[in-house]
Structure 1
C-alpha cells in the first residue's frame, strides 16, 4: 500500500472515523490496493471457518452510477425516517450521509461485500445486512484525525452481569 500515515495501531483504530465529506474523488485507487485491503479482511474470523464471503469490486463508471442510484433511493428512505430536529447531534451525521449519497457514483472504487447463505438458513429479518454492504473506497483528504466523542467506558461495560 502506498502513502501510509505514521499511525500506531491504537491511533489508527481510535482516530480514523467516517470521512464521508473528505473522500478524494479525484485520486484513483488502484485495484491492487483494494486487493491488499481485502487480503487483510480475509483474516477476520469466520464462523466454523466457512469463509462464505464474496467481494464485488466495481470500477466501471456506468456500473458505479447504477449502484449509486440504488444507494440514493434506499438512503432517501433512511434519512426520511430521521428528524435531526429531534436529535441535533444527528444533524451532522445526516448531512454527511446525504453527501455520500450524492457522490457515491463518483467514488473511485465501490466494494460490495456479501455472504453465501442457503435459502433454508435465511433469517426473516435483517436480510440486507447478510446480502451485502456497500463500501466506498477512496483516499481521504487531510490527515488530522482525532478520536470521536463517545460515551464513557464505565457507562457501557458490565462485569459479570448487567
Structure 2
C-alpha cells in the first residue's frame, strides 16, 4: 500500500468490523513491531501496550466503556458519528482484540504543560503507526479515550500500576468488512496560515 493511500484511508472504523473473524496475536505483534519505531520524546521508548483478547476481560472493559459512553453521549445531538459511537459501545466486547496503549509515568497537579505534551506526544505517534500497519493488513481500528473515565478501575482489572502508568487510548481491532475511501475532511488550506494566526 502506498503511504499516501494509507494516510488518507486509515480512519476510525466502528461499525464496519467483521465481528466473527478472529485476529491472531501474531498479526497484532507484527503491527506493534512496526509501531515501536515511532519517534518518542528523548528516545525513552516508554510506551507500553496491553492486548486484550480474553472474552471475560473484554466484557468487563466494555461494561466500563458503555457506562462512560452513555454519560459522554447523553446530550450529544443526533448524527452519524454519534450513532457509530453508540454502536461501538454496544458491541465493544465483540471486537476481536482491544489494544490499550499506555505510557510510563503520571501527571502531577503541578506538571508543566510541556511535560504533558511530551508524554502524549511520545505515545500517540506509536499508536498511529500501529493503526497504519493494521490498515495495511486489512484491519480496521478506531482511536478512543472514552474508557478513561474509568481508568483506575480498568487499571485494577488488568493489573496496571495506576500510580506509575498512564493509559492513553484504547484501540479496538478487527478485520474490515469492506475497504473505506478517504474520510471527508476540510481542505488543508482552510486550516493553515503562515507566520500569523488567521483563523476564525
Name the TM tier (shorter chain).
0.7 to 0.9
Q: What is the Cα deviation at residue 123 of structure 1?
A: 4.7
Counterpart check, 1:92 vs 2:86: no
User: Is 1:142 paired with 2:178?
Assistant: yes
Q: CA deviation at 1:72?
A: 0.7
TM-score normalised per structure 1? 0.83
**Could you give the per-residue CA deviations for residues 110-134 of structure 1, whole angstroms, max 9, x where no partner exists?**
1101111156487599994952311
Partner of 2:101: 113
Deviation readout 1:33-91 (Å, 9 max, x if unpaired):
0011111111111111111111011111000000111111111111114223xxxxxx0
2:8 pairs, out of 11, 14, 26, with 14
Q: Scaled by the length of structure 2, what TM-score is found? A: 0.68
Structure 1: gaps of 5 or more residues: 1-6, 85-90
Number of residue pairs matched by the alignment: 149
Any runs of at least 4 consecutive aligned residues in structure 1 with deviations exceeding 6 A, and if so which? Answer: 124-127
d(CA) in 2 for partners of 1:20, 1:37: 19
Following superposition, the deviation at residue 16 of structure 1 comes to: 2.8
Counterpart in 1 of 2:193? 158
Distance 1:77 1:132 in 2: 20
- Specify the SS of the correspondent of 2:15: helix
CA distance in 2 between partners of 1:110 and 1:14 (Å): 23
Q: Compared with structure 1, are the counterparts of its residues 131 and 60 closer, same or farther at alpha carbon in structure 2 (3 Å cutoff)?
A: same
Match of 2:138 in 1: none
The answer for the alignment partner of 2:21 in structure 1 is: 27
Matches within 5 A, 1:70-85: 70-84=64-78
From 49, 69, 78, the counterpart of 2:43: 49
In structure 2, list runs of 5 or more residues that go unmatched.
Answer: 121-147, 152-165
Question: Deviation at 1:28?
Answer: 0.5
Partners of 2:190 and 2:21 in 1: CA distance: 41
